[in-house]
Structure 1
Amino acid sequence: MDLLIILTYVALAWAIFKIFKIPINKWTVPTAALGGVFIVSGLILLMNYNHPYTAQAQKAVISIPITPQVTGIVSEVTNKQNALIKKGDVLFKLDPTRYQARVSRLEADLVTAIHNTESMKGQLTEALANTQRVSAERDRLYKDYQRYLKGSQARVNPFSESDIDNARQNYLAQDAMVKSSVAEQSQIKSQLDSMVNGEQSQIVSLRAQLTEARYNLEQTVIRAPSDGYATQVLIRPGTYAAALPLRPVMVFIPEQKRQIIAQFRQNSLLRLESGDMAEVVFNALPGQVFTGKLTTILPVVPGGSYQAQGTLQSLTVVPGTDGVLALIELEPNAQVESLPDGIYAQVAVYSDHFSHVAVMRKVLLRMTSWMHYLYLDH
């Protein structure tokens, strides 16, 4: 853009020499040249300082890498490539056989566990009844044993030693049966008493596993996270899709407010403020200028951010080479919305200082836009 100012001055000087028929000699030419140096230099300094310009700008868009939550073979892919997709529409599907089988197995295990719980309740009732029965028989045998034992202490013993011993053995055997029945009853009751939120723990565990299995089954159908479009869909049925964060299989572009991200020189921070008026020209739309405003200046320079890596860090860039990033919000315009995301642009921001110099910046920006008819790259 500075070259445009110089060329404009040269053209004006040449026109003045021709129109006013100023003679070309050792006084007029050096005067025009030196005057041009001072005038052009002053204007460029004032303009660049107070009304920053950058050719490093882009229509930015945030993309979402699509990575499946489960691993499997792709069985179906959407045919809506680069077309509007509504939130919840299917992007692609994975073969669900393995996950459906796990759901079916856990459903069967859950039914079995519920049935076993009901069965244990019946067993507990039976064990309680059995304990009462064998306890009653033990009490009867104990009384018989006591009767035999008391009779053996009489002056005339009506019972033989064998009768007394048999009564004692019968009582002890029945007492052992009572203890066995009580232990069985306690074991069944312990299993039934292992409750979580009022439900048997094994059933709770199986329900949790079943919920997870159903979730994984649902994840075999990958859906659009929001309204937007999928671009460069390269997966096909038969592709192996892994649930790894570093291996996305699709890029989804959500519907969003389009913004221009511009990179300015670091010394432009002296005049960049949120709310300043901005103008943008696109390589793809020559001869047109779009207005907006500077909304945000990012608080960090990308090259100055570091991450913990277990090694000592040094400067990764030469200080001053990385620019300051700013967000430009344009006024609604159908032509801008129709442009491909990521397209390049040039941006000028106008501060409140030396506003009369801003006219020159606006003229130069429009000249830059007209030059896009001739070439696209700077």
Structure 2
Amino acid sequence: MDLLIILTYVALAWAVFKIFRIPVNKWTVPTAALGGIVLISGLILLMNYNHPYTSLAQKAVIAIPVTPQVTGIVTEVTDKQNMRIKKGDMLFRLDQTLFKARVDRLNADLVTAIHNIQVLRGQLEESLANTSNVSAERDRLYKNYQRYLSGSKARVNPFSEQDIDDARQNYLAQDALVKGSVAEQRQIKSQLDSMVGGEQSQIVSLRAQLAEAQYNLDQTIIRAPSDGYVTQVLIRPGSFASSLPLRPVMIFIPEQKRQVIAQFRQNSLLRLTPGDEAEVVFNALPGQVFSAKLLRIIPVVSGGTYQAQGTLQSLTIDPGSDGVLAVVELDPDAAVDALPDGIFAQVAVYSDHFSHVSVMRKVLLRMTSWVHYLYLDH
């Protein structure tokens, strides 16, 4: 841009010399040169300070790496590459055989567990009835034993020692049956009383396993997280897709506002205020200027970020890592929407200070856009 200003001044000075027939001598040429230096330097300083410009800008887009939640062999892949798709549309599908088998097995186990609970309830009722019967028999044998025991204390004992011992043994044997029946009831009750949230714990466990298995089965169909598109689809049926987060198999670009990330010099922060008017030109659209607005300044410089490691950290002074990043939001425009994401651009921001100088910045920005017709690298 500075070169464009100098060339413009040189062209104007030459025109003035020619039109007004000003003689070329040792006074006029130095005067024009020194006047140009003072004028151009002042204008450039005012313009650069109050209306920052950068050629380091890019149409930014957020990409989502797609990694399946489960591991398997790819059986089907969407054919809508680089085409707009809706949220929930299939991106690719994994082989479901093992996951379906696990769901079916857990469904069967759940039915069996529910049936077993019903069987346990029946066994408990049977055990209660059995306990009642053996308890009644025990009470009868106890009374019989007491009758034999009372008779043995009479003056004339009508019972032999063998009869009394048999009555005693019969009673003790029946009492043991009662205790065994009561113990069986407690065991069955303990299984039935193992409750979680009002439901038997084994059934709760199986339902949780079934929900997890069903979730894994559902994850064999990887769907679009939002409206957007997928690009560079390199997987094919037969590819192995792993659930490791470091091995995404696809890149999804969600629909989002069209923004440009611009890198300015650090001293431009003095005049970068969110809400300022901005303009953007793209290398791919020569001769066109697009209105925009400075949305925000990213509050960190990439070169100043540090991470814990086993060595002492020194300053990061890499070329190009000391700029301040700003987010510029473009006004809706069909031409911009049609551009590929990630394309390069140039950005100028116009502050409220010395607004009359912004005219020169706008002219220079448009001249920069016209230069793009020449296929020059910037």
TM-score bracket, normalised by the shorter chain, equals over 0.9
Residue 335 of structure 1 deviates from its aligned partner by: 0.6
Q: Which amino acid aligns with 1:331?
A: D
Give CA-to-partner distance per residue, 1:219-241, whole Å, 9 cap, x none.
00001111111100011111111
| 1:338 alignment partner in structure 2 | 338
* Larger mean Cα displacement after TM superposition, 301-310 or 362-371: 301-310
Query: TM-score normalized by structure 2?
Result: 0.96
Structure 1 residues 36, 276: CA separation in 2 closer, same or farther (over 3 Å shift)? same
Matches within 5 A, 1:265-280: 265-280=265-280
| 2:245 alignment partner in structure 1 | 245
| 1:129 alignment partner in structure 2 | 129
**5+ residue gaps, structure 2:** none
What CA distance in whole angstroms lies between the structure 1 residues aligned with 2:239 and 2:319? 45
Q: Say whether the 8 Å CA contact 2:277–2:349 is kept in structure 1.
A: yes
Residue 305 of structure 1 deviates from its aligned partner by: 2.6
Residue 315 of structure 1 deviates from its aligned partner by: 2.3
| 1:281 alignment partner in structure 2 | 281
What CA distance in whole angstroms lies between the structure 2 residues aligned with 1:272 and 1:155? 122
Give CA-to-partner distance per residue, 1:114-141, whole Å, 9 cap, x none.
0000000000000001111111111111
Structure 1 residues 83, 23: CA separation in 2 closer, same or farther (over 3 Å shift)? same
* Larger mean Cα displacement after TM superposition, 142-151 or 127-136: 142-151
Aligned residue-pair number: 378
| 2:189 alignment partner in structure 1 | 189
Structure 1 residues 347, 239: CA separation in 2 closer, same or farther (over 3 Å shift)? same
| 2:62 alignment partner in structure 1 | 62
The 3-state SS of whatever aligns with 2:286 is coil
| 2:93 alignment partner in structure 1 | 93
What CA distance in whole angstroms lies between the structure 1 residues aligned with 2:166 and 2:320? 106
Structure 1 residues 343, 319: CA separation in 2 closer, same or farther (over 3 Å shift)? closer
Residue 320 of structure 1 deviates from its aligned partner by: 9.0
Q: Which amino acid aligns with 1:369?
A: S
Matches within 5 A, 1:159-170: 159-170=159-170
* Larger mean Cα displacement after TM superposition, 325-334 or 83-92: 325-334
Query: TM-score normalized by structure 1?
Result: 0.96
Residue 17 of structure 1 deviates from its aligned partner by: 2.4
Q: Which amino acid aligns with 2:365?
A: L
Residue 23 of structure 1 deviates from its aligned partner by: 2.9
Q: Which amino acid aligns with 2:232?
A: Q
Q: Say whether the 8 Å CA contact 1:283–1:376 is kept in structure 2.
A: no
| 1:306 alignment partner in structure 2 | 306
* Larger mean Cα displacement after TM superposition, 7-16 or 103-112: 7-16
Q: Say whether the 8 Å CA contact 1:283–1:345 is kept in structure 2.
A: yes
Q: Say whether the 8 Å CA contact 2:228–2:254 is kept in structure 1.
A: yes
Q: Which amino acid aligns with 1:225?
A: P
Give CA-to-partner distance per residue, 1:14-34, whole Å, 9 cap, x none.
222233333333322222222
**5+ residue gaps, structure 1:** none
| 1:109 alignment partner in structure 2 | 109
Q: Which amino acid aligns with 2:323?
A: G
Q: State, as a whole percentage, how many aligned pairs show the same letter.
A: 80
Q: Which amino acid aligns with 1:11?
A: A
Matches within 5 A, 1:1-378: 1-309=1-309, 312-317=312-317, 321-378=321-378
Residue 272 of structure 1 deviates from its aligned partner by: 1.0
Structure 1 residues 321, 103: CA separation in 2 closer, same or farther (over 3 Å shift)? closer
* Larger mean Cα displacement after TM superposition, 271-280 or 310-319: 310-319
Q: Say whether the 8 Å CA contact 1:266–1:320 is kept in structure 2.
A: no
Q: Say whether the 8 Å CA contact 2:260–2:329 is kept in structure 1.
A: yes
The 3-state SS of whatever aligns with 1:100 is helix
Q: Which amino acid aligns with 1:53?
A: Y
The 3-state SS of whatever aligns with 1:329 is strand
Residue 155 of structure 1 deviates from its aligned partner by: 1.6
Residue 311 of structure 1 deviates from its aligned partner by: 5.5
Give CA-to-partner distance per residue, 1:182-209, whole Å, 9 cap, x none.
0001000111011112111100110111
Residue 165 of structure 1 deviates from its aligned partner by: 1.1
What CA distance in whole angstroms lies between the structure 2 residues aligned with 1:84 and 1:14? 55
Residue 310 of structure 1 deviates from its aligned partner by: 6.2
Structure 1 residues 140, 128: CA separation in 2 closer, same or farther (over 3 Å shift)? same
What CA distance in whole angstroms lies between the structure 2 residues aligned with 1:135 and 1:3? 112
What CA distance in whole angstroms lies between the structure 1 residues aligned with 2:209 and 2:317? 51
